[in-house]
Amino acid sequence: MPGATDQTLRPFLWRAANLYPDTEIVSRTHEGVERYTYDEYDDRTAQLANALEAHGIEAGDRVGTFCWNHHRHFETYFAVPTIGAQLHTINPLLPDEHIRYIVDNADDELIFVDESLAPKLASAAADASEFEGVDFVVMSSSETDAVEATPYESFLEGHDTAYDWPVLDEERPAGMCYTSGTTGNPKGVEYTHEMLWSHTMATLTPQGIPMADDDVVMPVVPMFHVNAWGMPFTATAGGAKHVYPGPSPDPADVAALIEDEGVTITAGVPTVWLGLMEYAEDNDLDLSALDTVVVGGSAAPESMIRWFDDRGVELLHAWGMTEMSPIGSVSHLKSSLQDADYDTQLEHRAKQGMLTPGLEMKVIDENGREVPWDGEEFGELWVRGPWVTTEYFKRPEANEEDFEVPASGASGESEDGTSSGRWLKTGDVVTVDEEGYITLVDRAKDVIKSGGEWISSVELENAVMAHDDVAEAAVVGVPHERWQERPVAFVVPADGADESTLEAEVMEMLGEDYPKWWLPDNVEFIEEIPKTATGKFSKKDIRERHTDESLVEGRVPEEAAPNDD
């Protein structure tokens, strides 16, 4: 068939197994730390392929995973797609109703589940018609009482370590992930072999997140969240050593693996690294092997970048979306900035970075006008490219809202408005500076509209978290009778912080850099910032649990009104 085998996942593993057969894959599991080589991994992947076939899994079937980051989960990453089936990574942190919806929507045939997550899956599956006909395999060598499931090692036992891998069309679906569904049901995104191949090749470039055969790669970002940002595929393609942190790793687990395995590249959301920073305050932490920490999901505060810089570790901002497989931009310094002063470099590194090679973008304002790259004008970021999805799975109504089909015959776009010409409306409000660096101002739904002007909740959050006595902070807009919305900061004080003076200190610090009308009307102290299923701050939950108009009533003096600095 045309295009067969050109751009599929199989060559990445073939290369690793044949060129780097002795390179290790290390995994923290419920049963302890386990390690083996690419050569052995290749054998077990073939065993799994034979086991899936024996179980009745056919080309086009969807196979789900309900798992943490470990070697068995990694085995499904290559075995399932390269037999022609589709790997559906399920987020176990989603509510039961969402799990039921996505299992039904995806029509999964089989689900691999971790022992510690089996009770959660059992809760979602209990008396649920959506799970009828779905079989379970528990990711261990023994059974679990939570669900009726075949142990993984028994599932593989007796199957051949050789497999006649089929020739696949690069447009065949290989993976599937669902958005976190903060409003309504989650939306399914399918990834073809070509999309994952293209994403992997782009991230291997110097302007992506390159991984080589002397790297030790540990994705702390969950493997159920957009394929751990593609890191398992990129690390395999580069012949790197893999390290998987396993079930619910705490800062001590992450620190031990970095030290013991010599991790050079790791990745996760900012809360992971805040935890590691706090752990380092009371423990002797050796980061000498570590070169790069990739941060995504939300922006890292400048203080975090400085903290890692002080220890000789580069903190690398990346931005992306489930719909983008997911990497869209990475904040590398241009060669023209290599000789700039530290503060100038830091200013650019704190941004979401430059578009990854292979993608196109434009920024569109409320009136449909493309805004200039001047670092000031705001608009919604639109992107397109070979690893950007062009539609949601079985959700035509969502397609109409989140994608633009260009007019027929538009310059540089396809006549029928398909993949080469369809833009994804990301929902992210951004500015782009003269150098092409993207700054995420806010999600379109989270930007604060006050007196006809925009206030970036993300920028205020990062500024508040720069205070040494602030552990976490989120800023949301609260309805205001006169100004439409006003910002309120919700702050988790650091251990030992003096709350009686912290609000005044935060406001004074913000007042040095921002106009009065940007300043929060209130600082509310709470025990924890609620998180989404992907570890991001949940503004929706903050609004539902903590906000009402009394927080801003009578709080805005005339001199602090918008457009009156």
State pLDDT tens for residues 34-75. 999 999 999 999 999 999 999 999 999 999 999 999 999 999
Q: Give the model's pLDDT for residue 196.
A: 98
Bridge-partner residues for 361, per DSSP?
383
Q: Give the model's pLDDT for residue 5.
A: 54
Bridge-partner residues for 241, per DSSP?
216
The stretches of 270-327 forming alpha helices (DSSP H) are 270-282, 302-309
Amino acid at 299: A
Whether 480 has a pLDDT exceeding 90, the answer reads no
From CA 168, how far away is CA 559, in angstroms rounded? 66
Bridge-partner residues for 33, per DSSP?
28
pLDDT in tens, 503-518: 999 999 998 888 888 8
Strand 32-37 and strand 453-455: the pairing is unpaired
Strand 241-244 and strand 216-219: the pairing is parallel
Contact in structure between 546 and 537 (CB atoms under 8 Å) = no
369 secondary structure, DSSP code: P
3-class state of residue 500 by DSSP: helix
Q: How far is CA 244 from the centre of its chain?
A: 16
Locus of tokens 């990711």:
139
From CA 190, how far away is CA 188, in angstroms rounded? 7
Contact in structure between 443 and 356 (CB atoms under 8 Å) = no
Proportion of the chain above pLDDT 90, given as a percent: 73
pLDDT in tens, 419-453: 456 899 998 989 999 999 999 887 777 878 786 66
Per DSSP, the residues of 144-181 read -SSS--EEHHHHHTT--S---PPP--TTSEEEEEE---
Question: If we measure between CA atoms, which residue out of 284, 214, 296 comes closest to residue 255?
Answer: 284
Q: If you average pLDDT over every residue of the chain, what do you get?
A: 90
pLDDT band at 539 (very low <50, low <70, confident <90, very high): confident
Instruction: Identify the CATH assignment for 359-443 out of 2.40.50.100, 2.60.40.3880, 2.30.38.10, 3.30.70.860.
Output: 2.30.38.10
From CA 383, how far away is CA 360, in angstroms rounded? 6
Bridge-partner residues for 135, per DSSP?
110
Count of Cβ atoms closer than 10 Å to residue 401 Cβ: 10
Give catalytic residue positions: 179, 323, 449, 454
Q: Give the model's pLDDT for residue 126.
A: 95
Whether 557 has a pLDDT exceeding 60, the answer reads no
Strand 423-432 and strand 403-404: the pairing is antiparallel
pLDDT in tens, 242-287: 999 999 999 999 999 999 999 999 999 888 998 999 999 999 999 9
pLDDT in tens, 149-203: 999 999 999 999 999 999 999 999 999 999 875 557 889 999 999 999 999 999 9
* Residue 145 neighbours by CB under 8 Å, 6+ apart: none
pLDDT in tens, 189-242: 999 999 999 999 999 999 999 999 999 999 999 999 999 999 999 999 999 999
Please name the CATH architecture into which domain 10-349 falls.
3-Layer(aba) Sandwich (3.40)
Proportion of the chain above pLDDT 70, given as a percent: 91
Whether 416 has a pLDDT exceeding 70, the answer reads no
From CA 66, how far away is CA 9, in angstroms rounded? 22
Whether 131 has a pLDDT exceeding 60, the answer reads yes
Q: Which residues of 5-38 are buried (b: 16+ CB within 10 A; e: fewer)?
A: eebbbbebbeebbeebeebbbbbbbeeeeeeebb
Among 4-8, 126-130, 298-302, 330-334, which is the least confidently predicted range? 4-8
Whether 544 has a pLDDT exceeding 70, the answer reads yes
CATH 3.40.50.12780 domain residues, the chain: 10-349
Among 6-10, 11-15, 482-486, 545-549, which is the least confidently predicted range? 545-549
The model carries a pTM of 0.83
Fold entry, domain 448-560: GMP Synthetase; Chain A, domain 3 (3.30.300)
Q: Calculate helix-pair angle for 231-238, 10-19, nearest 10 degrees.
A: 40
Bridge-partner residues for 404, per DSSP?
423
From CA 505, how far away is CA 522, in angstroms rounded? 13
Question: If we measure between CA atoms, which residue out of 126, 55, 61 comes closest to residue 88?
Answer: 61
Whether 564 has a pLDDT exceeding 50, the answer reads no
Distances in whole angstroms, Cα of residue 441 to Cα of each of 37, 324, 436: 44, 19, 15
From CA 1, how far away is CA 327, in angstroms rounded? 30
CATH 2.30.38.10 domain residues, the chain: 359-443
CATH 3.30.300.30 domain residues, the chain: 448-560
3-class state of residue 103 by DSSP: helix
Whether 121 has a pLDDT exceeding 50, the answer reads yes
Radius of gyration of the chain (CA): 24
